[in-house]
Amino acid sequence: MITTKVNLKTKDLKSEVKPIWCPGCGDYGVLNSVFRTIIDLKLDPSHVAVVSGIGCSGRFPAFVNAYGFHGVHGRALPLATGVKLANPDLTVFVVGGDGDAFSIGAGHLPHAARRNVDLTYVVMDNSIYGLTKGQPSPTSPVDVAVDSMQRHKGRRKGMAGMLRLAQADKPVNPIALALGYDASFVARGFSGQPRVLNEILKTAVLHSGFSFVQVISPCTTFYNTYDLWRETAEPLPEEHDASDRAAAFQLALEPGRRYTGIFYRHERPSFEDQVARLVAEPTDAAAPAAISGLLEQFRR
């Protein structure tokens, strides 16, 4: 992590591209919290990279005056892993939505977690597919019914009449998933609580390893959960020991509770540290010569 002596302000971190999310979208709060995190930690923007996939969150890198990479749907984590390995000095934020993270990109989460890549993965969870106009996502509750989930009553007569269909699939539990994959840092924040979210993000960035942060980021257009989370969100119990993974699991699975805070934190060697060690201390003495020979072939 490379810092700067310059006292940054929010205007220094805003790019010339203006955010185009819907009015009131929770992603604005997440963007401001990322700005605040960069400012408070005095991160050098020239050594910050933001990587995204597809969805409303995919636009995120364009709004930040730092390095950015807008990848394809669900592939933000492997892209960010490549960025971090290529330049370990970068502070890398990975941003995604609940569809990008837990549907098409779900297969990448366990591997980023087990490798313990030094990334801060911010998942903006609105429990809906906002960019494609309101389909249910992997985190949509069973009883949600939105306008996009409609069917015609009849083919000819009554074509104007529509039925609203309720979501039937059981939602995934993002916190439990991250804990199950042994992510070394697991937390949940809410865009409607910017101060709390800011502290979580700062701790996540300072953590040496893979930091998973689920951020409840309501969609004001298709599934507005602001009131629900403002009324029911509660901090994790003060007595919770964040080093206790089993206790974190119990809290994540506790029915009817919406906890925010750091569920789990465990320091262990990062992927970059292990790669650097292997490069510095090859197990096969002939390996450097063999690699040099391969590289020489490509130079011809």
Q: Would you say residue 192 lies in a domain?
A: yes
Asked if residue 177 and residue 218 are part of one domain, the reply reads: yes
CATH number at 82 reads 3.40.50.970
Asked if residue 224 and residue 252 are part of one domain, the reply reads: yes
Asked if residue 199 and residue 88 are part of one domain, the reply reads: yes
Quick one: pLDDT at residue 161? 44
Q: Are 12 and 42 in contact (CB under 8 A)?
A: no
> For the chain, what is the domain count?
2
Query: Which residues 6+ apart lie within 8 Å of 39 measured at CB?
Result: 8, 9, 10, 13
21's tokens: 């999310």
Asked if residue 275 and residue 183 are part of one domain, the reply reads: no
Q: Would you say residue 101 lies in a domain?
A: yes
Between the CA of residue 97 and those of 10, 66, 127, 242, 276, what are the distances in Å?
24, 20, 9, 25, 31
Asked if residue 70 and residue 190 are part of one domain, the reply reads: yes
Q: Does the pLDDT at position 150 exceed 60? A: no
Query: Which residues 6+ apart lie within 8 Å of 292 measured at CB?
Result: none
Q: Are 271 and 86 in contact (CB under 8 A)?
A: no
Q: Are 204 and 213 in contact (CB under 8 A)?
A: yes
Q: Would you say residue 166 lies in a domain?
A: no
Asked if residue 299 and residue 179 are part of one domain, the reply reads: no
* Model confidence pLDDT, tens digit, residues 70-89: 999 899 999 999 999 999 99
Q: Would you say residue 98 lies in a domain?
A: yes
* Model confidence pLDDT, tens digit, residues 6-31: 899 999 999 999 999 999 999 999 99
Average pLDDT over residues 225-246: 96
Quote the pTM value: 0.88
Q: Given pLDDT bands bounded at 50, 70 and 90, which one contains residue 275?
A: confident
Residue 52 to residue 94: CA distance in whole angstroms:
6
Query: Which residues 6+ apart lie within 8 Å of 116 measured at CB?
Result: 184, 209, 210, 268, 269, 270, 271
Region of poorest pLDDT, from 49-58, 81-90, 286-295: 286-295
Asked if residue 300 and residue 184 are part of one domain, the reply reads: no
Q: Would you say residue 52 lies in a domain?
A: yes
Asked if residue 264 and residue 274 are part of one domain, the reply reads: no
Asked if residue 103 and residue 28 are part of one domain, the reply reads: yes
Domain extent for 284: 270-300
Quick one: pLDDT at residue 152? 43
Asked if residue 181 and residue 293 are part of one domain, the reply reads: no
Nearest to 171 by CA among 126, 134, 132, 133: 126
Q: Does the pLDDT at position 233 exceed 90? A: yes
DSSP codes joined into one string, 63-88: GBSSEEEE--TT-HHHHHHHHHHH-T
Q: Would you say residue 99 lies in a domain?
A: yes
* Model confidence pLDDT, tens digit, residues 121-145: 999 999 998 888 888 899 988 777 6
Residue 54 to residue 236: CA distance in whole angstroms:
31
Q: Does the pLDDT at position 154 exceed 50? A: no
Asked if residue 229 and residue 88 are part of one domain, the reply reads: yes
Between the CA of residue 198 and those of 34, 180, 212, 215, 226, what are the distances in Å?
7, 25, 14, 11, 18
Residue 169 to residue 103: CA distance in whole angstroms:
13
Q: Would you say residue 242 lies in a domain?
A: yes
Please report the sign of the dihedral spanned by the C-alpha atoms of residue 261, residue 266, residue 267, residue 273: negative
Q: Would you say residue 114 lies in a domain?
A: yes
Asked if residue 232 and residue 292 are part of one domain, the reply reads: no
